[in-house]
Chains A and B, each alone.
Chain A
Amino acid sequence: MIMFNYIASFFLIVLGFYTIVTKTNLVKTVIGLSIADYGVNLLIISIGFNPGGTAPIFTWGELNPASFFVDPIPQALTLTSIVIGACVTAMSLSLVMKLREQYGTIDTREIRRLRG
């Protein structure tokens, strides 16, 4: 089962990059960034997964060598990563809005004053 997660996360990352490379609409570019980010998040969660493990929440003294739980570190990492992903989306969308104001378009082929 976990293999399916890996394949899906790989697929999401590739899909995200594919969207960024091919779509000429700035909003779609932002969506592409998010998709790639979700792919990585899925990958992180999958790596920390232990079949049959419980949630890694223990009070002091409950933890013993027999405890079987999923790896908590990737979950912490995912949280951070999701926050960062949200920031990326917010920031890039605000840039898109400003770009629309200045250039009158959100087509990447026309937003190319800086070149050469």
Chain B
Amino acid sequence: MSTALYQHFPIFAIMALFLGAFLIVLFGNIKPLRHAIALLAVTASLGFLIALVKPVMLNGEIIAYWMGARAPAGGYAIGIALEVDALSLFFGLLIATAVFVSCVYSIQYMRHDDNVSQYYTLFLMLAGGVMGLVLSGDLFNMFIMVEILTFAAVALTAFRNTVNGALEAAFKYLVVGCMGSTCILAGTIMLYAQAHTLNFAQLSAFIPGNMNTATVVAFALLYIGFSTKAFIVPFHPLAADAHGAAPASISVLISGVLTKSGIYGIIRLSYFLFQTMELGTMQFLLVFMGSVSMFVCVTMALAQHDFKRLLAFHSISQIGYVLTAVGLCTAMGISSGLYHAMNHTLFKGLLFLAAGAVLHETGTTDLGKLGGLSKKMPWTTALFLVGAFSISGIPPFNGFASKWMVYQSIYQKAVESGNIGFLFVTIIALVTSVLTLASFVKVSQSVFFGQLPKEYENVKEVPWGMRLAMGLFAVLCIVTGLFPNAVTTYLTQPAAAAVFNVANYINAMMGSGYAESVMGAAAPAAQAVTFVEVGVWQPVSWLLILIIALLAITIVAIAGQYDRVSEKAPAPAPVDGKYDLFFGGEQSVYSQVGGEDLFWGFKHNWRGYFSFMHELHSGIVNDYALWAVVALALTTLYMLIVF
């Protein structure tokens, strides 16, 4: 086996982050050095992964890296391994990008906090944990990384412990998160008892032919464990609490990175380890949980009046799209699900950073108190709108391209399988999208547009470093939306191909022919990933036409002196009140429609549902723990029945 230099890159990508964390502990008190180390670590990590794009994504290689060169002997994998296929690399790239942008943002965002060096230590630990999780080829290492990232995330949630609810959120997250981790550990060890190995590849070869009650229970435990990391229903309240309390740069990681690690775990489990996705019952489980997450969380978001909490619920709603698409077990489904996962990281990151910018300048994220900020923060407003359009799926931004593919894959699955359930999933997905738009209209109205309250007259635009970070995300949002074909060809299709070629994954690690020898005829054959889109969408041409039309109209409008009167009112307010707002003849007062009261017509019809959901999310940690236990019990029962 030739060891090209790039074979070492995965471990470098992980170690860069951890090493950075330790160096910051040592030298963190020197401010410039701290920032330099953090930036260097995340840049190096991103660079190493980008260098892997060519061999892994384009040439389809799978990197199996044995720590200390302890390659398997006698068909047993004893050593600790990293295995990087296109799927791992895809998630790794997402994570590295989000971490990089978040780090750039942190430098100016966190400058007023104290103990910033601890912040960067935890930040890099979190990043390293997630990176290790997605690149790991070993189930127990995955557990270790899960613990590291849970710990770092909990600590960072409570980092600003004077913020209302930060400690509470951290504690709830810790309790339910650790229940999830315990489940993962128990599942891991039950698999070990059956297969006497912890290596993914060997497990993937062994388990499918040897399914018994113990492995099924282990599957249920692992599945629930990774569900808590992805925050899908019924674990969504934790995400909402954590996001609301954590600094915005950490919310980016929790939503863009942590949830992805959960999704990655679920894909690895169900497509690789247990290879159960061919079964309709397993597809049902994922699609059902995905659709429920999608819908419940978007309605929860509509009822929120805190900017970041609202974003948190949307985050889970979008994860619902990803899970649904992944659960379809079709080439297009996985491809579109991964595409949406990527877009979710980008646009959700952008939105959280915008929320952080608002918090940074005004000190609050309460939708009822804010308003009219676009006058003071035009850049943040513009960047927020890019994110809001993306998540609501307005063409030509990236959210549209991936949602469009998700709809097609679900509906196609419905037609192919003849299962009317998928039809309703399509409808839920489409309606969820417009509800998403509604809540972002609410945010734009109550934060950036509308009337400016008196106390925010002196608000300024955020510093350039934060704008740069948001701009990076915004540019990526637009680019990935305009070139969906490039994204699918170079990123998501190789990853989807990796998902469908489990035998390659096993053989790359255990030596060629291993999968066939262990699994016999049941070894999954390599299959090409192809799909036909049932519709057409050419964003670049559309944008060109729109720009031409807009230019033409604007030129005509300007020539017709569209804006010939400037908004500058003469210094003393004009007597006739020409530039005042129209108040029906009354004296003008501050009368912003509050965020909670928008969409009354919608909420009125569903008041029963909304008050029920409000009661249900009681905020008591025992209730959330109970949900976790019930979810575990039901999942175990369901899996025992269907397998």
Contact = CB atoms under 8 A, between A and B. Distances in A.
Instruction: State yes or no: do A and B touch (Cβ within 8 Å).
Output: yes
B189 A17 contact: no
Given A24-B622, A92-B171, A98 B158 contact: yes
A29 B175 contact: yes
Nearest to A116: B614
B372 to A, nearest CB: 26
A108 B164 CA distance: 16
Q: Is the interface of A mostly helix, strand, loop or mixed?
A: helix
B186 A43 contact: yes
B625 A20 contact: yes
Given A17-B629, A91-B151, A112 B618 contact: yes
Contacts of B617: 115-116
A29 to B, nearest CB: 6
Contacts of B625: 17, 20-21, 29
B185 A20 contact: no
A8 interface: no
Which among B165, B196, B240 has the greatest number of chain A C-beta atoms within 10 A? Answer: B165
A103 B620 CA distance: 14
Which among B171, B174, B181, B189 has the greatest number of chain A C-beta atoms within 10 A? Answer: B189
Contact of A113 (B140, B619, B626): B619
Which among A17, A23, A73, A95 has the greatest number of chain B C-beta atoms within 10 A? Answer: A95
B154 A91 contact: yes
Q: Is the interface of B mostly helix, strand, loop or mixed?
A: helix
Interface in A59-116: 71, 73-74, 77, 80-81, 84, 87-88, 91-92, 95-96, 98-99, 102-103, 108-109, 111-116
A95 B182 CA distance: 20
Interface string B105-134: 000000000000000000000000000000
Contacts of B267: none
Contact of B185 (A26, A81, A116): A81
B189 A95 contact: no
Interface in B602-617: 614, 617
Interface of B: 140, 144, 147, 151, 154-155, 158, 161, 164-165, 167-172, 174-175, 178-179, 181-182, 185-186, 189-190, 192-193, 196, 198, 240-241, 244-245, 303-304, 309, 614, 617-622, 625-626, 629
Given A20-B175, A95-B174, A113-B619, 18 more contacts: A20-B625, A21-B625, A21-B626, A33-B182, A36-B182, A43-B189, A43-B190, A44-B189, A73-B192, A77-B140, A77-B189, A80-B144, A84-B181, A88-B174, A102-B167, A114-B169, A114-B172, A114-B240
